[in-house]
Structure 1
Amino acid sequence: MPISKFKAQITAAGAALLLTACMTTNEVTGRSQFITIPPSQDAALGLEAMNEVKKTADVETNTADAKRVQRIGRRIAAISDNPGMPWEFVVIDEDVLNAWALPGGKIAVYKKMVDSFTSDEELAAVIGHEIAHAILRHGAEKMSRVQAQNMAIAGVGVAVGATTEDQQMSQIAVTLGALAAQGFVQLPHSRAMELEADDVGTRYMARAGYDPRAAVRLWKKMKAMKDGGGGQPAWLSTHPTDDQRIKRLSDKMDSYLSEYNPR
């Protein structure tokens, strides 16, 4: 067998073995996840990434805004499925309507988000969503999928090159493989993770004593704040549409309210 064809077969076999070996079941949702990173590494990865953020961004940890985010975050994290995670909640002083979660419970909320939602319950919907991302290991899952995607794309190039012995055709195959992976695997899965975090995060905020109906108010306000509604079509976005999120949360509200524990 030619070495090039043998290499193509080894690449394909390696990718298949990686996919099989790294499938796990999420204990919170019951969903199967492909994750190559062990949970023991989450905290180290998140800490390293947060330290890098602190080198380049204006990160607040001791301001009134930061203390408000920390108070809400700690209250929700305490009733989550992993209260012992090394949680850290910070505010980034930038005019950005966003928030994010790193592996290991490192969570940031941008100042514009804090200023835009003066209700603790609406801000709890934001923070609960990010806590859910951390608990569900979505960051590690995304990283793992990118690793597997890159391996698969490389395999396509090797296989096509071995078959055609045409370098240009091999490069075209790699490019098309990348586009297909982004359009049909990476982006839809990201939307699924966002909806999953909406669901689990809203349950967490309800259990922590924040009215879950605030999650619907949050997304209605987010929709109204967007200029002209001229964003990307839903199928080209890593996030669901605001209308999709509002409907999904509204449809499940009775379930969330049944877990609401007012304080």
Structure 2
Amino acid sequence: MGKLSLKHVVGAALIFVLSACVTTNEVTGRSQFITIPASEDTSLGLEAMAEVKKTAPVLESGPMVDRVRRIGKRIAAISDNPNLPWDFVVIDEPVLNAWALPGGKVAVYAKMVNSLTDDAELAAVLGHEIAHAVLRHGAEQLSRAQMQSLIIVGVGAAVGAATKDDEKAQLAVGLGSLAAQGFVALPHSRSMELEADDIGTRYMAKAGYDPRAAVRLWEHMKTLKDAGGPPTFLSTHPSDDKRIDRLQAQMPYYLSVYKKR
């Protein structure tokens, strides 16, 4: 098989894989590239959470744990996927963060809980993480990372074969990784954060928590962050001001959901 026809075959195969893995999210209507079947989300989340519990100081009981579980389960019950095996844990570390794994596994750090002023602000945090799980953002990020790695390695191999120069091949892989991180991975991650803000605020409002607390949350986070953080362009999270502006623009809708509950 000649070089030109081989490239065509490889290209056609890549297009087939990409098209086969693009689905439309039923909640947002956005197209997503996901190679992982939804049926595997639960096992992935269980495995990852099991690893977390081996090394992190996860609280098993107490008022803080009860509070997080109560609010989390209330929001999850009205989400677009209430039947996920939801699990809400508190990690006893001085970290201002929370995260979600595939399959409905949500963790919030004790410092985050202690930094919030009321249940509504905690509902904004948990609603955001529940939205990540429902929208399958973890599976989407993993799928994109896998595909980017395959493409980058393929480009490096092609450069090496064409130039017979290992250094040029390594440079191509390095530049490809930098481009993928700076112009694909990070911007897409920021868009998913904004998407989770929107859906998560809808969820908290539907569950009976005042959605205006979502704005208070990010105003509060601004005061807690150390000065000199990374600019939005180099961050996986949008700026607090951008989040606040978008939430305020949508607040009439969130309040209508809150009042209809």
Does the TM-score normalized on the shorter chain lie above 0.5?
yes
What is the alpha-carbon root mean square deviation over aligned residues?
1.6
Note the C-alpha offset of 1:8: 5.9
Letter in 2 for 1:173: A
Under a length normalisation based on structure 2, what TM-score does the superposition of the two structures give? 0.96
Offset from partner CA, 1:105-136 (integer Å, 9 cap, x none): 00000000010113000000000000000000
Quote the Cα distance in structure 2 between the aligned partners of 1:259 and 1:190: 27
Note the C-alpha offset of 1:164: 1.5
RCO comparison, higher one (Cα < 8 Å, 6+): 1
Q: Structure 1 residue 208 and structure 2 residue 213: aligned?
A: no
Under a length normalisation based on structure 1, what TM-score does the superposition of the two structures give? 0.95
State how 1:94-105 maps to structure 2 within 5 Å. 94-105=93-104
Q: Is the partner of 2:258 in helix, strand or coil?
A: coil
Quote the Cα distance in structure 1 between the aligned partners of 2:5 and 2:65: 56
Quote the Cα distance in structure 2 between the aligned partners of 1:11 and 1:109: 44
Quote the Cα distance in structure 2 between the aligned partners of 1:197 and 1:121: 16
- Contact 1:15 1:151 (C-alpha < 8 Å) held by counterparts: no
Correspondent of 2:230 among 223, 229, 232: 232
Gaps of 5+ in 2: none
Q: Is the partner of 1:257 in helix, strand or coil?
A: helix
Q: Structure 1 residue 91 and structure 2 residue 90: aligned?
A: yes
Partner of 1:56: 55
Note the C-alpha offset of 1:61: 2.8
C-alpha spacing 1:13/1:153, structure 2 compared with 1 (3 Å): farther
Count of equivalent residues: 261
- Contact 1:199 1:249 (C-alpha < 8 Å) held by counterparts: yes
C-alpha spacing 1:168/1:9, structure 2 compared with 1 (3 Å): farther
C-alpha spacing 1:82/1:45, structure 2 compared with 1 (3 Å): same
- Contact 1:208 1:261 (C-alpha < 8 Å) held by counterparts: no
Partner of 2:109: 110
- Contact 1:210 1:261 (C-alpha < 8 Å) held by counterparts: no
Gaps of 5+ in 1: none
- Contact 1:60 1:66 (C-alpha < 8 Å) held by counterparts: yes
Note the C-alpha offset of 1:233: 1.3
